[in-house]
Amino acid sequence: MSKFKALEFYSGSAKSYDLLPFRFTKLSGDDYVVTNLVGEFVVLSRGDLENFARGKMVTSHPAYRTLKVKHFLSDADSGVSTDLLALKARTKFGPLANFTGLHLFVTTLRCDHSCPYCQVSRVNDRRREFDMSEETAMKSLDLTFRSPSPALKIEFQGGESLLNIPIMRLVVEEAKRRNVSAKRDLEFVIATNLALLDEEALDFALEHNILISTSLDGPADLHNGNRPRPGNDSHARTVSAIRRVRQRLGRDRVGALMTTTAASLGRVRDIIDEYVAQDFRGIFLRPLSPYGFAIKTKSYHLYSAQEWIKFYLEGLDYIIELNLSGFTFTEFYAAMILRKMLTPFQTSYVDLQSPAGIGIGAVVYNYDGDVYASDESRMLAEMGDKSFCIGNVHNNTYEEIFLNDRFLDAIEKSFAGSVPMCSSCAFEPYCGSDPVYHHATQGDVVGKKPLSGFCSRNMAIFRGLFERMERPGVRQIFESWAFR
């Protein structure tokens, strides 16, 4: 009996492997990115991709081992490839079992600002009939603690949430009382424009270790133009309040979000510089959404998806420049995508979940007791379309709200792995699904992808991240964002 295999076994001859599922798309030049079911990726030249796909890549090729380790192929030495691929898939989709972790309480629709792009159709700050009642708050809390998630985050929104502090205090104190026996990882966030921040609110946040989330659209002229209020001092109030929060609660207890308006285009460096000046460690470059006053005032239609992509990629390149020069700063949307690209883990961000994060990733309890599958669902309802209102805390049980056919049908249709065009897209493992956006813009929860702003924006970002990852030093920056 021979002690050695036949000579051809060692020759690196073709047809020595089986293909595992993969997809590919073109990058710049001759490069293609190849991805598998769980988001592992390899960048290959067109010639190498053709040889690989036709079973002609020799085992001595530099890319062969990478393709094997990342489960793009299976050969005689890798009999457990499919098992390992399945394990990675279970890890990716594991968080779905936790169901809803983020619960948003709309304490009031009242607001002291009159932002033309407001997506929630705020009302005059004297109209108290738009405040959440104690009964609604308690019934909403009942549903919150029915969630199987081991971690519960309760976020207070508006309008301007600080206009109804008594309800926030009631919810926080009752949630903490219930959690003595429930033993969840409990966290609280107040979303506020900070203009009305006073000592009572700071004391309340300090007492209960509450995070603060606010809005900062850029330098004073841009922020004040985007977010007008009596006195034209929105920016001054915001930055002053940010400093006060940090002094009382701690350096990292306040975060900020920006929204891109037509006035923001061409000023992405100014906006990023403002975040640097205010001592933030990153920024979320965010487009307008097609809801509320953003539609009524035509703000949403003042720029195209392509104009926003140009804005975003210019901002991303500037942030990369800052990091290469030694200044650590993160673009948070890219960081969430890179977490899906470079780690075995998912992101909790609703818009990057598949099946859609509506209801699964977050749920909204409106001031009047209506329950919405997402914040955008609530915004859509304020425009008269309650397609994604999944129940009411006064009229429906937990099972009736989260197991109704209309809600589950939207979830089922939103799984990108089975959606036309998405299922064959190399970027599918990193993308999400936004049935509310597609319903609002196209009248269909799946949507026609070539006409989708959501799709065109994400694909441009995915491609942009892959192309930039090949530049010297950028991969290390992206890895630091993904693992932070």
Please say whether the dihedral angle defined by the alpha carbons of residues 416, 420, 424 and 425, taken in this order, is positive or negative: negative
Q: Is the pLDDT of residue 125 over 80?
A: no
Phi, psi of 162 (to 5 degrees): -70, -10
Which of the residue ranges 111-120, 274-283, 351-360 would you say has the lowest mean pLDDT? Answer: 111-120
Is pTM beyond 0.95? Reply is no
Structural domain spans, the chain? 12-93, 99-405, 414-479
- Classify domain 99-405 by CATH number: 3.20.20.70
Nearest C-alpha neighbor of 433 from the set 377, 367, 350: 350
Q: Is the pLDDT of residue 291 over 80?
A: no
**CB 314 within 8 Å of CB 271:** no
- List of residues 6+ apart from 191 with CB closer than 8 A: 155, 156, 157, 158, 161, 213, 214
Average pLDDT over residues 355-377: 92
pLDDT of residue 84: 87
Alpha carbon 324 to its chain centroid, in Å, reads 25
**CB 434 within 8 Å of CB 419:** no
Query: In DSSP terms, which residues pair with 153 in a beta bridge?
Result: 102, 187
| C-alpha–C-alpha distance, residues 107 and 140, integer Å | 11
Q: Which two tokens stand for residue 288?
A: 């307008």
Q: Give the CA distances from residue 63 to residues 390, 398, 474, in Å, rounded to whole numbers and listed in that order.
A: 49, 51, 21
Q: Is the pLDDT of residue 56 over 60?
A: yes
Helix axes 453-469, 435-442, angle to 10 degrees: 130
